[in-house]
Structure 1
Amino acid sequence: MDILGIVGILLGILTIILFIIKKFSIIVAAPIATIVVLLFSGVPILETLFGQENSYMTALAGFIAANFAIFLLGSILAKYMDKSGATISIADKVLSVVGTKNPYNALVALFIISAILTYGGINVFVVIFAIIPMAKPLFRKLNISWKLVVIPVFGGTSTFTMTMLPGAPSLHNIVPSTALGTTLTAAPLIGIVTSIVAIVFILVFMKLSLNKSLKKNETFNVDEKVESSAVISERKLPSFIISLLPILVLLGIILLFSSVNNIIIVALIVAIVLSAILFRKQIAEQREVLNQGATESLSSTITTGSTIAFGSIATSVPAFKGVFQAIQSIPGPPVLSLMIGTGLIGGITASAVGAIGISVANFAPIYLDMGLDPETVHRAITIGSGALSIVPYSGFLIIFNNLTGLTMKDTFAKGFISISVTHWIAMAVVVIMTLLGIA
């Protein structure tokens, strides 16, 4: 085993985490951490960073090319929803239904909305672009800690709807289906049982966290600089139906035309055009909304792409082959080492989808040869991918913090429990079901 190379991978991860803690941009931290990995790996540094094939830059460029349109359009739609006051109108309606006496009901409502949107096939980044402006007035009116928003949003978007529930049209479910020849409903019993367990855990964790926050007398308390972006003038808010219409149209187009290529982009464009028409009375200067959305989307895209590029290089160096071998020797049923291995890749790449892609190409054939059923391999890989996908350099977490105005200290612990610990529990359920022969 290439011990020096493995040390390099670990030092690279520590480097990127240290830079994030010191509040350096991930755009700066990721290439520096990549250089650290390469220094210990015995591969050409400049070529691996700037080469025309399989380099840091090609990985970054590939991600931007594939995802920039979604980030751009999602950011603009979020700006329309925010600046028009549509999010406040929606929040008012939610409060009128769930009431203000029990803040937990509002958190559960936000959790359900996030889960429905994600399970409906909407890209997770699009969901948080839309849901955060919607959640802020809700929390403000309830006067509960804004830090709690992590739990319902992360729990709703990035756990059971992403990796466990059968039938999800997400990339997390599509990638292994394509590679293994399985259906999107692969291993339905495992998927349903782990989903139920995950939902129960998240709801309990959310309740305990809310009670703890209320006992400490924590309130909304958002920094004025961040809060100012959500301040709406005295002009009349759009009605609830009008406010919700762009989101309903977005979801409807995606669900009805799910087989059409790039349907998410088409749906976002339609939703933006509809917003421009419906909210013209609330937004006098639409050019400003477009400019702000476009500017913020650029940073979000490069931020996420940088983490993906770092992970792609860290998992391509020769030393990582030794890590693969070590993972396969983990004691216990084969499905356990498969999930742990996929989870480890997710931690290095800071991407659950990236982990799934690497795992189905490198791990799946080995475990199929061991006799594991393709459907079990499919569901085990998807569930395992979420085990360590939330790390300090995760693009999803960084963008979430930028959108909410919260810090890594505010969000990481709750985010880690909401996503990673939930997946650990699901992994334990999979192992138990496998041992009992009911998977």
Structure 2
Amino acid sequence: MLWGIIGIILSLVLLITLAYRGMPVVIAAPIASVVALVFSGAPLLASYTEIFMPALAGFVGNYFPVFLLGAIFGILMTITGYAESIARSVARRLGARSALLATVLTSALMTYGGISLFVVAFVMFPLARELFRVADIPKRLIPGTIALGIFTFTMTALPGSPQVQNIIPGQFFGTDGFAAPGVGVVGTLIILGFGMAWLEYRRSSLMRNGEHFGSDEIPAKRGGSGLFGRGKAQPSAADPDGGTSPQRERSGGTVETQEKDAPVPASAPTTALLQPRNAVEPFLPLVAVIAVNFACTLLIFPRLEWSYLQEEKFGGIALSNRAGIWAVIIALIVAILVVLALNAKNLGTLKSGFTEGVKGAMLPIFSTASEVGYGAVVASVAAFAVVRDAVFNVGGNALVTSVLSTSVTAAITGSSSGGMTIALNAFGDQLRTMAEDQGMSLEAMHRLTAMAAGGLDTLPHSGAVVTLLLVCGLTHRQSYKDIGMVTIVGPVLAVAILVGVVSLFGSF
């Protein structure tokens, strides 16, 4: 048993090390699994084909449509120029003096509207860079500012978020994406308030010390655009938990490899080829995602007949097991159709968006699924029972147990969706039973578990962090302190406060 526990620990250290050094998680996770299996004495081949691969396939089977549609939608928003137009509209409205807030809100709006997280990151960097230049704000704050808008409250806290991190808990707790709206809104205010306070404090502190935008100049990205000019869009990824590979840029039919061995996602959307007719048009697809998601979840689905789901061929499921993911799938499909309808005369131009979307969805989903497979292997070894019992003996509170187990696995894997899936695959049934026995709200469990996944997932080895820093041309030493404060300290503080409130007074 002792050797088994040592094997689990060593496998975790190896997974973190390999991920931090840029090895794709698709490869790193199976290697780490072998270490855990060798120390436990379990058979390697049988564990790979009968445990690792079924868990990987299960994740892909559940969430592939969300990754695929999100990638296609994000790339279509880039090709049409909608994403850039939205960023410019918000930036102009708030002005350069509010560069920090403008960057956060623009990033958050696009993320909550269903655009893939790193599509937003690549679109936002050149615009944030220009805003920071005009306001003379130290550029080391750009990564933290973008991260606050895309990796925190819009990903996990805001009710109805179409991001996969908000969908996963519903698969285990029978809840939907609008679970515990009061808890989510309060959590959003805490995270956003803390993050903005920190960024403003850092801006003032750095500028008092004589640091300005021009200090240690960031090289301009090839094809980047200023606030008032159009340029080539940068490569993007479909999910912050995706794997890593050399960055590529497509231009004029050629593909050039940049930043040798740079750990950035491989998906590459086409450059903005079209021009929106007006400033309102780009917002319509985002409104469609939000409105359709809301309508399906709270108005349409509850009024339809779903008794046929109890048939054996449909797995005997309940609507609550699938409502969240179905609503997001329909919302993204409608949003894509809205983009196509608005650009009916340019459908030939948009065709590449579907091809690139398929490519852009593959690496992120298989990277996350590979981590889920690793978690299944670890959970299968005998020594894991000791870990499981330790987790459940922490305090006996279902909410606390769910939050802690999710936080730990997200920290280990550097992945919010991967860590949460691993934890809930291992403990989900027990947590649900425990919560029901204790009278704990499953909606509150959904919301706070999702928020917990979006806290420690951005430790320095996180692929999302490494990629964002590379996009911005900065290093961990320059900018990680601010990323950590807004994506770790703020969310962890919000979860801690809300766990206490919900435990004492119930969900709201």
Check if 1:252 corresponds to 2:287: yes
Deviations 1:208-263 (A, max 9, x none): 23334444334483345xx1132599889999963756642321332343335444
- Give the Cα–Cα distance (whole angstroms) in 1 for the partners of residues 435 and 171 of structure 2: 17
- Are residues 65 and 292 of structure 1, via their aligned partners in 2, closer, same or farther at CA, if it must alter by over 3 Å? closer
Kept after mapping to 2: 8 A contact 1:88/1:138: no
Alignment-derived partner of residue 99 in structure 1: 95
- Give the Cα–Cα distance (whole angstroms) in 2 for the partners of residues 381 and 286 of structure 1: 38
Within a 5 Å distance, the mapping from 1:80-99 to structure 2 comes to 80=79, 92-99=88-95
Kept after mapping to 1: 8 A contact 2:15/2:29: yes
Q: CA deviation at 1:304?
A: 4.2
- Give the Cα–Cα distance (whole angstroms) in 2 for the partners of residues 366 and 228 of structure 1: 54
Check if 1:209 corresponds to 2:209: no
Q: CA deviation at 1:44?
A: 2.2
Structure 1 counterpart of 2:456, which letter? L
Equivalent of 1:330 in 394, 398, 416:
394
Equivalent position SS for 1:389: helix
| Structure 2: tracts of 5 or more residues without a match | 232-271, 297-326
Alignment-derived partner of residue 312 in structure 2: none
Alignment-derived partner of residue 114 in structure 1: 107
- Are residues 288 and 255 of structure 1, via their aligned partners in 2, closer, same or farther at CA, if it must alter by over 3 Å? closer
Kept after mapping to 1: 8 A contact 2:19/2:461: yes
- Give the Cα–Cα distance (whole angstroms) in 2 for the partners of residues 322 and 5 of structure 1: 10
- Are residues 302 and 244 of structure 1, via their aligned partners in 2, closer, same or farther at CA, if it must alter by over 3 Å? farther
| Structure 1: tracts of 5 or more residues without a match | none
Alignment-derived partner of residue 419 in structure 1: 487
Q: CA deviation at 1:17?
A: 2.5
Equivalent position SS for 1:34: helix
- Give the Cα–Cα distance (whole angstroms) in 2 for the partners of residues 190 and 389 of structure 1: 21
Deviations 1:172-219 (A, max 9, x none): 444444644556554455434333222211111221233344443344
Kept after mapping to 2: 8 A contact 1:164/1:191: yes
| Bigger shift: residues 232-241 or 418-427 | 232-241
Within a 5 Å distance, the mapping from 1:39-438 to structure 2 comes to 39-51=38-50, 54-55=53-54, 58=57, 62=61, 65-66=64-65, 69-70=68-69, 72-74=71-73, 76-77=75-76, 79-80=78-79, 92-100=88-96, 102=97, 105-120=98-113, 122=114, 126-143=116-133, 144-168=137-161, 170-177=163-170, 179-182=172-175, 185-214=178-207, 215=209, 216-219=211-214, 221-224=217-220, 227-230=221-224, 242=277, 247-258=282-293, 259=296, 261-268=329-336, 270-271=338-339, 274=342, 298-331=362-395, 335-354=399-418, 355=420, 357-358=424-425, 359-392=427-460, 394-397=462-465, 399-401=467-469, 403-404=471-472, 406=474, 412-434=480-502, 436-437=504-505
- Give the Cα–Cα distance (whole angstroms) in 2 for the partners of residues 171 and 205 of structure 1: 27
Q: TM-score, normalised by structure 2?
A: 0.68
Alignment-derived partner of residue 35 in structure 1: 34
Q: How many residues align?
A: 423
Q: CA deviation at 1:67?
A: 5.1
Q: CA deviation at 1:378?
A: 3.4
Kept after mapping to 2: 8 A contact 1:49/1:56: no
- Are residues 342 and 79 of structure 1, via their aligned partners in 2, closer, same or farther at CA, if it must alter by over 3 Å? same
- Give the Cα–Cα distance (whole angstroms) in 2 for the partners of residues 296 and 56 of structure 1: 22
Deviations 1:10-44 (A, max 9, x none): 22222122224434344443332232222223322
- Give the Cα–Cα distance (whole angstroms) in 2 for the partners of residues 56 and 74 of structure 1: 27
- Are residues 343 and 315 of structure 1, via their aligned partners in 2, closer, same or farther at CA, if it must alter by over 3 Å? farther
Q: CA deviation at 1:323?
A: 1.8
Equivalent position SS for 2:458: coil
- Are residues 239 and 340 of structure 1, via their aligned partners in 2, closer, same or farther at CA, if it must alter by over 3 Å? same
Equivalent position SS for 2:222: helix
- Give the Cα–Cα distance (whole angstroms) in 1 for the partners of residues 178 and 157 of structure 2: 10
Identity within the alignment, %: 24
- Are residues 23 and 380 of structure 1, via their aligned partners in 2, closer, same or farther at CA, if it must alter by over 3 Å? closer
Equivalent position SS for 1:242: coil
Deviations 1:353-379 (A, max 9, x none): 441643533423224324434344333
| Bigger shift: residues 192-201 or 261-270 | 261-270
Q: CA deviation at 1:79?
A: 4.7
- Give the Cα–Cα distance (whole angstroms) in 1 for the partners of residues 356 and 118 of structure 2: 17
Kept after mapping to 2: 8 A contact 1:26/1:393: no
Q: TM-score, normalised by structure 1?
A: 0.77
Kept after mapping to 1: 8 A contact 2:111/2:120: no
Structure 1 counterpart of 2:457, which letter? S
Alignment-derived partner of residue 11 in structure 2: 12
